[in-house]
């Protein structure tokens, strides 16, 4: 799963953690004088304050992004320190501005100015404490945790070669030897126990910073960002999960049965599926076990991975396909600097953070992606996802600095995936990757393959932050980090480890977004929104066929509607942006059910007489 900014930080800019006592311009200095004199604020003062904040945040954000790019693409102790220092300067400026913005809470402001004040107060994913030593410690820990993940390797006993995450991912995807799968699964999870002491301290310091801003804890601060009270947002997420849960249960029941046929009693007839047998380190994407669960005579007739390799399409050309899709909708090509500055392949001479991410380094036009691309169908889709971030970033880059973000963070994640839903057989024919689209009778296989990615992910998209919200609130203590993690994985995903995982382990840290402090609910929301966006855009494009066969490729009207939403940035509450594209003001998971309706019917037929749930 990709991330559009490098790690947790001031939400409106792709950066991380830290502290700085910032200097004021003349206007801000005047504001400080009035504040110290106890005079009530005036509108002109509020405007000057926001102008100062936007200018300062833009400058510090660019510096943090540049240092962060180097740290992610040249992992050394020195680059960690440089990135931590730059992030230190950005985040504490954000904290200071957030605190000072409360001075204007009772002042009647024009709508745009009032929204900017609100975003200043809610724009953090990590709030550094006011104490300089604690702030420095937090930024150091944040950089150290991410780098520990990036450098993580499993060194099998008795073998000379250590395995990095890319090599382990390949084994998890391709091996059908349960012993080998268990070995590398357990091996990757050895990278995270050393993170545990630092993560405990990280939580304590992050919570202290959040409380200084008036939030109960860091989790409450995260949930406050969605133009809804935190409690209402939690209910909204629960509502969406309940809409899609029956489809997930049908998929889980079917997959468990097919895996039992392959692996025997290692997979229970009832109960959770062993986490190492689902083709992915985190069991968040089951598409790699498609060959084990595919319906008979449902071969779609093509393998995109093999097509890409047979046509000798390299990493950069895969990115060109993604670019051409957006151009077909009426968007401009990517700038020349994108091709000069992006990282497309893993260097042989150094460690890098291979996890895919999209960057707008100067928050204007310096667009890049960082990705160790493999020539696979999965990465073909991921590239479209990452470019969606870049296209979104460029669409809102003329907005004031505080409005340069997606309507909510789920929107940013959804845009690229919406385009990926248009990678239909008909589209592959149109761009010359496929000679002929398969007959619609093969659609169950295509839908099942998609569901193993899109639907299987949904509970995982929820539980990461469910765990962190409980950790930040203190409901989950350091003494039961791992126990709580596996309880949630069983409750939501219906997966479990082969053997008990005690508190000597720190399995949450084996997932990038935990040590990198990247909020994760956005990915769940993105799964919901991408289908809602796709249904709306397909309707605009006049697609009359089944939703899963609709492609908006080369439809300029659909492109115009998408662009209208993207250009809003975060200048309006997200329901306004959603309405601009879909005509709806509420997130709606029924679009997923519409998309997978033929599959759900088929799954329920296959599952007759089979116990569901765990």
Q: Which residues pair with 367 in a beta bridge?
A: 360
User: Is the residue at 330 inside a domain?
Assistant: yes
Residues 412 and 7: their CA atoms lie apart, in Å, by 15
Residues 233 and 237: their CA atoms lie apart, in Å, by 6
Q: Which residues pair with 495 in a beta bridge?
A: 273
Judgement on whether residues 185 and 202 belong to the same structural domain of the protein: no
Q: Is 29 in the active site?
A: no
pLDDT tens digits for range 586-600 = 999 999 999 999 999
User: Is the residue at 13 inside a domain?
Assistant: no
pLDDT over 70 percentage in the chain? 94
CA angle 180, 182, 183 (to 5 degrees): 65
Q: Can you tell me whether residue 383 is helix, strand or coil?
A: helix
Please say whether the beta carbons of 540 and 524 come within 8 A.
no
Residues 433 and 313: their CA atoms lie apart, in Å, by 10
| The pLDDT of residue 170 | 94
How do strand 163-164 and strand 153-154 relate by DSSP bridges?
antiparallel
Judgement on whether residues 44 and 97 belong to the same structural domain of the protein: yes
- Domain of 326 in residue numbering reads as 304-437+521-583
Question: At 362, phi and psi to the nearest 5?
Answer: -100, 5
Q: Is 389 in the active site?
A: yes
Judgement on whether residues 432 and 293 belong to the same structural domain of the protein: no
User: Is the residue at 613 inside a domain?
Assistant: no
* In the predicted structure, residue 295 carries a pLDDT above the cut 80: yes
User: Is the residue at 19 inside a domain?
Assistant: no
Residues 502 and 151: their CA atoms lie apart, in Å, by 24
User: Is the residue at 18 inside a domain?
Assistant: no
Go through the chain and tell me how many residues it has: 614
Single out the catalytic residue among 252, 276, 384, 389.
389
Residues 79 and 285: their CA atoms lie apart, in Å, by 32
Single out the catalytic residue among 276, 355, 412, 548.
355
User: Two tokens at 549?
Assistant: 């066969």
Single out the catalytic residue among 53, 356, 451, 589.
356
Single out the catalytic residue among 146, 386, 451, 484.
386
DSSP string of 273-334, one letter each residue: EEGGGSSSTTSS--GGGHHHHPPTT---S--HHHHHHHTT--HHHHHHHHHHHHHHTTPPPP
Does the CA dihedral 380-386-392-398 come out positive or negative?
negative
User: Is the residue at 515 inside a domain?
Assistant: no
| The pLDDT of residue 31 | 41
Q: Is 358 in the active site?
A: no
Judgement on whether residues 333 and 474 belong to the same structural domain of the protein: no
Judgement on whether residues 242 and 116 belong to the same structural domain of the protein: no
| The pLDDT of residue 234 | 83
DSSP string of 233-263, one letter each residue: HHHHHHHHHHHHHHHHHHHHHHHHHHHHHHH
pLDDT tens digits for range 343-378 = 999 999 999 989 899 999 999 999 999 999 999 998
Best CA proximity match to 138, nearest among 2, 12, 20, 14: 20
| The pLDDT of residue 252 | 98
Domain boundary among 510, 545, 560: 510
Residues 598 and 468: their CA atoms lie apart, in Å, by 36
DSSP string of 131-181, one letter each residue: SHHHHHHHHHHHHHHHHHHHT-EE--TT-S--EEHHHHHHHHHH---HHHH
Residues 203 and 473: their CA atoms lie apart, in Å, by 10
Q: How far apart are the first and last CA of the chain?
A: 26
Angle between helices 556-568 and 521-540 (to 10 degrees): 140
- Sequence-distant (6+) residues with CB within 8 A of 513 are 1, 3, 464, 519, 520
Single out the catalytic residue among 52, 54, 89, 413.
413
Question: What is the mean predicted confidence (pLDDT) over 475-496?
Answer: 97
Please say whether the beta carbons of 446 and 476 come within 8 A.
no
Please say whether the beta carbons of 384 and 423 come within 8 A.
yes
Total count of domains within the chain: 3
Judgement on whether residues 312 and 239 belong to the same structural domain of the protein: no
Best CA proximity match to 279, nearest among 148, 379, 181, 418: 181
Single out the catalytic residue among 384, 385, 412, 548.
385
H/E segment holding residue 370: strand 367-370
Domain boundary among 486, 510, 534: 510
CB contact burial 218-238 (16+ within 10 A = b; e otherwise): bbbbbbbbbbbebeebbeebe
Single out the catalytic residue among 427, 523, 553, 595.
523
Cα 23 to its chain centre, rounded Å, is: 34
Q: Is 385 in the active site?
A: yes
User: Two tokens at 574?
Assistant: 């997200």
Judgement on whether residues 138 and 158 belong to the same structural domain of the protein: no
Q: Is 384 in the active site?
A: no
Judgement on whether residues 343 and 377 belong to the same structural domain of the protein: yes
pLDDT tens digits for range 5-28 = 433 333 333 333 322 322 223 333
User: Is the residue at 273 inside a domain?
Assistant: yes
- Structure-token match 């900017």, residue found: 116
Question: What is the mean predicted confidence (pLDDT) over 214-224?
Answer: 92
pLDDT tens digits for range 399-457 = 999 999 999 989 998 998 899 899 999 999 999 999 999 887 779 988 999 999 999 99
At 38, is the pLDDT very low, low, confident or very high (cuts 50, 70, 90)?
low
Tell me the Ramachandran region of residue 18: left when phi exceeds 0, alpha when psi lies from -120 to 50, beta otherwise. left
Q: Is 189 in the active site?
A: no
Q: Is 199 in the active site?
A: no
CB atoms under 10 Å from CB of 23, counted, come to 10
pLDDT tens digits for range 240-268 = 999 999 999 999 999 999 999 999 999 99
Best CA proximity match to 421, nearest among 384, 395, 456, 392: 384
Question: What is the mean predicted confidence (pLDDT) over 97-108?
Answer: 91
Domain boundary among 463, 486, 510: 510
- Structure-token match 């539980």, residue found: 463
Judgement on whether residues 268 and 209 belong to the same structural domain of the protein: no
Judgement on whether residues 83 and 208 belong to the same structural domain of the protein: yes
Judgement on whether residues 340 and 376 belong to the same structural domain of the protein: yes
Q: Is 355 in the active site?
A: yes
pTM here is: 0.84
Question: What is the mean predicted confidence (pLDDT) over 80-101?
Answer: 90
Judgement on whether residues 423 and 554 belong to the same structural domain of the protein: yes
Share the mean pLDDT of the chain. 91
| The pLDDT of residue 35 | 47
Q: Can you tell me whether residue 555 is helix, strand or coil?
A: coil
- Sequence-distant (6+) residues with CB within 8 A of 464 are 508, 511, 513, 514, 520, 521
User: Is the residue at 567 inside a domain?
Assistant: yes
pLDDT tens digits for range 165-181 = 989 999 999 999 999 99
| The pLDDT of residue 15 | 32
């Amino acid at each position: 799963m990709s991330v559009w900014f490098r790690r947790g930080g001031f939400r409106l800019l792709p950066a991380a953690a830290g502290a700085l006592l910032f200097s004021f311009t003349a206007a801000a200095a005047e504001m400080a004088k009035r504040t110290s004199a106890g005079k009530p604020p005036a509108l002109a003062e509020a405007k000057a304050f926001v102008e100062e904040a936007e200018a300062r945040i833009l400058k510090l954000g660019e510096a943090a992004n540049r240092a962060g790019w180097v740290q992610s693409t040249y992992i050394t102790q020195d680059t960690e320190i440089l990135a931590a220092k730059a992030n230190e300067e950005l985040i504490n400026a954000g904290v200071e501005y957030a605190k000072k913005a409360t001075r204007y809470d009772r002042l009647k402001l024009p709508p745009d100015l009032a929204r900017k004040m609100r975003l200043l107060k809610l724009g953090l994913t990590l709030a550094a404490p006011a104490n300089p030593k604690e702030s420095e410690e937090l930024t150091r820990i944040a950089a150290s945790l991410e780098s520990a993940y990036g450098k993580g390797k499993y060194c099998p006993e008795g073998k000379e070669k250590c395995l990095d995450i890319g090599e382990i991912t390949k084994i998890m995807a391709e091996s059908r030897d349960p012993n080998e799968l268990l070995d590398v699964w357990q091996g990757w999870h050895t990278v995270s126990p050393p993170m545990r002491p630092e993560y405990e301290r990280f939580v304590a310091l992050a919570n202290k910073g959040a409380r200084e801003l008036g939030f109960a804890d860091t989790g409450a601060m995260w949930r406050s960002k969605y133009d809804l009270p935190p409690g209402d947002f939690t209910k909204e997420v629960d509502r969406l999960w309940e809409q899609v849960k029956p489809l997930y249960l049908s998929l889980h029941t079917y997959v468990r049965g097919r895996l039992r046929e392959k692996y025997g009693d290692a997979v229970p007839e009832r109960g959770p599926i062993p986490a190492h047998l689902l083709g992915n380190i985190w069991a968040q994407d089951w598409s790699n076990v498609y060959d084990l669960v595919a319906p008979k005579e449902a071969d779609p007739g093509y393998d995109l991975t093999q097509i890409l390799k047979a046509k000798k399409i390299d990493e950069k050309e895969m990115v060109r396909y993604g670019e051409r899709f957006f151009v077909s909708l009426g968007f401009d090509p990517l700038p020349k600097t994108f091709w000069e500055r992006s990282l497309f392949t893993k260097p042989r001479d150094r460690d890098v953070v291979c996890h895919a991410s999209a960057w707008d380094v100067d928050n204007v036009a310096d667009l890049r992606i960082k990705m160790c691309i493999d020539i696979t169908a999965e990465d073909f889709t991921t590239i479209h996802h990452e470019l969606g971030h870049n296209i979104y970033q460029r669409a809102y880059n003329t907005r004031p600095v505080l409005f340069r973000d997606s309507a909510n963070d789920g929107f940013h994640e959804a845009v690229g995936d919406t385009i990926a839903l248009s990678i239909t057989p008909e589209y592959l024919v149109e761009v010359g990757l496929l000679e002929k689209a398969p007959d619609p009778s093969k659609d169950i296989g295509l839908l099942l393959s998609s569901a193993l990615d899109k639907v299987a992910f949904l509970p995982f998209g929820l539980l990461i932050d469910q765990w962190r919200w409980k950790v930040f609130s203190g409901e989950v203590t350091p003494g039961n980090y791992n126990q709580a993690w596996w309880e949630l994985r069983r409750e939501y995903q219906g997966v479990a480890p082969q053997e008990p995982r005690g508190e000597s382990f720190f399995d949450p840290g084996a997932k990038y977004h935990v040590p990198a402090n990247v909020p994760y609910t956005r990915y769940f929301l993105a799964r919901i929104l991408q289908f809602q966006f796709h249904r709306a855009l397909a309707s605009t494009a006049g697609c009359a066929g089944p939703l899963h066969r609709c492609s908006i490729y080369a439809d300029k009207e659909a492109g115009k509607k998408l662009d209208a939403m993207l250009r809003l940035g975060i200048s309006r509450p997200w329901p306004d942006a959603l309405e601009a594209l879909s005509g709806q003001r509420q997130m709606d998971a029924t679009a997923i059910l519409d998309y997978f309706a033929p599959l759900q019917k088929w799954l329920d037929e296959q599952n007759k007489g089979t116990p569901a749930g765990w």
